[in-house]
Structure formats: C-alpha cells, structure tokens
Amino acid sequence: MNTSVDQADFFRTLEEKSDNGKLRGDYSQCDERYVVRQDWDAYTPEQHALWRRLYQRQAKLVPGRACQVFLDSLAKMDAANEIPRFDRTTEALYKATGWELVAVPGLVPDQTFFEHLANRRFPVTVWLREPHEFDYIVEPDVFHDFFGHVPLLFNPVFADYMEQYGKGGLKASRLDGLSNLSRLYWYTVEFGLIQTAEGLRAYGAGILSSGGEVEYCLTDPRPRRVAFNAERVMRTLYKIDSYQETYFVIRDFQQLFEETAPDFAPVYERLKQQEVLAANTLLPGETDLPPNPA
Ligand code: HBI
Ligand code: FE
C-alpha cells in the first residue's frame, strides 16, 4: 500500500491517539481505499464469547432507550451469537438500502472515510476489543461499528443522510470545513438523540454501543439537551474520552436529512467568523430540554 505524506501523517495522529502509541489494526494488508478482507475464521472462540457478552448486555439495555428503527433492524440482524460475517450482512443491507459493509483495519483518513460513505460503503473495523475493554474503548472496534452503526443503515432516510454526509465531507475537505463536519457527525451519527411520543430516544452509535451512556444520555440531569440546529452543532466542541456534556435532539431523520442538504459553503464562511462553543454551552434563548424520567 503506498503511504503518501498525508497517510504518514494519518498514522502519526493515530499512534498519538491510541493508548500505548501502537496501532490496534493491521494496516499492512489494506488496499488504496484502506479495505481489508475480514478473515472470519481467524476469530477465536474466546472472541465470539466476548462478542456474545457485549451483545447480550447491550440488547438488554436498548429497549426503551434506542429509537424504534434501531430496535426493529437489530431484531432482524441475527448477530447475537457470534461476530457477524460482513458479506452476509451486506447481502441483506444492499437489498434494503443499497449500502454495503467494507472491512477496515480501524480508523481511516477522513477523505477515505467520506469517499466510502459517499458511495454507500460503511467501513467496519475487523478487530474486537480485549476483555478488559468490555466497558470502554477509545477507538472504534467491530462491536462499536457493527452494533452501533449498522442497524440504522437499514433505514432509507438515515441511509440517505449518511451518503449525503459523505458527499458533504468530500466538499468540506476542499473548503476547509472538516472540523465543522466532524462535529456534525459526532453530535448526530455518534451521539444523537431523537424526540419521540414516548420521550427521548438514542440513535447515535457511540451511545447505543456503550453500557453506561445509553442510560446517562436520557435521564441524567447533568448534560444539556438542546434542539438540533446544524450550524450550532458545527460550532460546538466535543470530548472523545468522556460522556457528552451536550446532546442534540432531532425531531426525526427527515429533519436531519433536510437540515444537512443545503450547500454548507456559506455556512463554513460564517462559522469562520464565530468562536467555537465549549461542549457544555447553553446559548441565550436555547431551551435545555428535560431528561426522561429516571
Ligand atoms: N474511520 N473507520 C473509520 N470510522 C470512523 O467512524 C471514522 C473514520 N475516520 C474519520 C472519522 N470517522 C471522523 O473523523 C469523521 O468525522 C470523518
Ligand atoms: Fe462510530
């Protein structure tokens, strides 16, 4: 695989981000789009057992906390007993929304990530966390990517949003709007909440794959909960190694699709003139929405 300058840069930042400076994934076998083969036979019985424990814990927590679309898709995915075979899931997913899963060694450069999303390919990490990381892991592993992200890709509106996000990302990288787009991704795809007749529900993968945050985000009095507004979200900083201090709430996935459809070029210009907001900001006039009853 050719490592051009930005890729060497990419690996340096990955090593800085990882806890012991070592890359978790094996990037030596990936192609120019950072895609690898999922060597399903290489998973050990202990890894499948860890997958089952992770899955069982989350499957018990998400009813009444995850949005209905997530629950309906998860029920159809039959992924409880062992680490899923990505090609089998792709068969069902492709029929539903034209998306496919591509196996990757871990985080890939933004540009590559956006290109995959823009072509309806979702990158899923092939390695599974260690037992001691059961409750928390910084880098996305196969459990986070598959359990957290894949179910919603079966929903046509959310699937359209993800393709649009990828296309927006390719554009943003040309307009130096990447940090804005990353915040948008973080506060929706990773940590988004949705309003329903039964109260707040989670749709963000970072929440849905987390043992503790799936309750915290809905009922804990400490974080803010603010109505979603794309420009406001793109100004708001986030933390990658603690529960969120603010969650943004959409009315439905259609709103997400529509609010991120416009051309963001003028928005990036406007944002350059405004200071970024701390993760726990509540702006004058904003309502801190009430949590669900505990
Ligand atoms: N790579 N495999 C993978 N998964 C992600 O979620 C991911 C990524 N690279 C970049 C990235 N996410 C974020 O910076 C997005 O905001 C682009
Ligand atoms: Fe993720």
Domains (ranges, CATH) in the chain? 4-272 (1.10.800.10)
Q: Is 250 helix (H, G, I), strand (E, B) or coil?
A: strand
123 ligand 1 Cβ < 6 A: yes
Nearest CA to ligand 1 atom 11: 110
User: Which residue type does 13 have?
Assistant: T
Higher per-residue pLDDT: 260 or 35: 35
Higher per-residue pLDDT: 23 or 290: 290
**Cα(277)–Cα(196) distance, rounded to whole angstroms?**
27
**Encoded tokens for 77:** 């995915």
Nearest CA to ligand 1 atom 2: 107
**DSSP element (H, E) containing 29:** none
Are 226 and 248 a contacting pair, CB within 8 Å?
yes
Q: How far is the CA of 269 from the centre of ligand 2 (A)?
A: 27
113 ligand 1 Cβ < 6 A: yes
Nearest CA to ligand 1 atom 17: 110
**Cα(236)–Cα(276) distance, rounded to whole angstroms?**
6
184 ligand 1 Cβ < 6 A: no
> What letter would DSSP give residue 20?
T
Output the pLDDT for position 2. Answer: 41
* Mean of pLDDT values over 194-209: 98
Say yes or no to pLDDT of 89 above 50: yes
Say yes or no to pLDDT of 13 above 90: no
140 ligand 1 Cβ < 6 A: yes
Say yes or no to pLDDT of 114 above 90: yes
Buried-exposed string 181-211: b where 16+ CB fall within 10 A, e elsewhere:
bbbbbbbbbbbbbbbeeeebbbbbbbbbbbe
Q: Name the nearest CA neighbour of 153 among 127, 189, 182.
A: 189
Say yes or no to pLDDT of 1 above 70: no
Instruction: Please write the tens of the pLDDT for every residue from 23-35.
Output: 889 999 999 999 9
Q: How far is the CA of 124 from the centre of ligand 2 (A)?
A: 9
107 ligand 1 Cβ < 6 A: yes
182 ligand 1 Cβ < 6 A: yes
Output the pLDDT for position 5. Answer: 46
234 ligand 1 Cβ < 6 A: no
Instruction: Please write the tens of the pLDDT for every residue from 219-251.
Output: 999 999 999 999 999 999 998 889 999 999 999
Output the pLDDT for position 262. Answer: 84
Q: How far is the CA of 42 from the centre of ligand 2 (A)?
A: 24
* Mean of pLDDT values over 273-287: 96
105 ligand 1 Cβ < 6 A: no
**Cα(161)–Cα(163) distance, rounded to whole angstroms?**
5
Q: Is 230 helix (H, G, I), strand (E, B) or coil?
A: helix
Say yes or no to pLDDT of 18 above 90: no
Q: Which residue in the block uniquely carries the two structure tokens 């507004």?
A: 229
Are 247 and 215 a contacting pair, CB within 8 Å?
no
Say yes or no to pLDDT of 19 above 80: no
Q: Which residue in the block uniquely carries the two structure tokens 């420009």?
A: 231
Output the pLDDT for position 4. Answer: 45
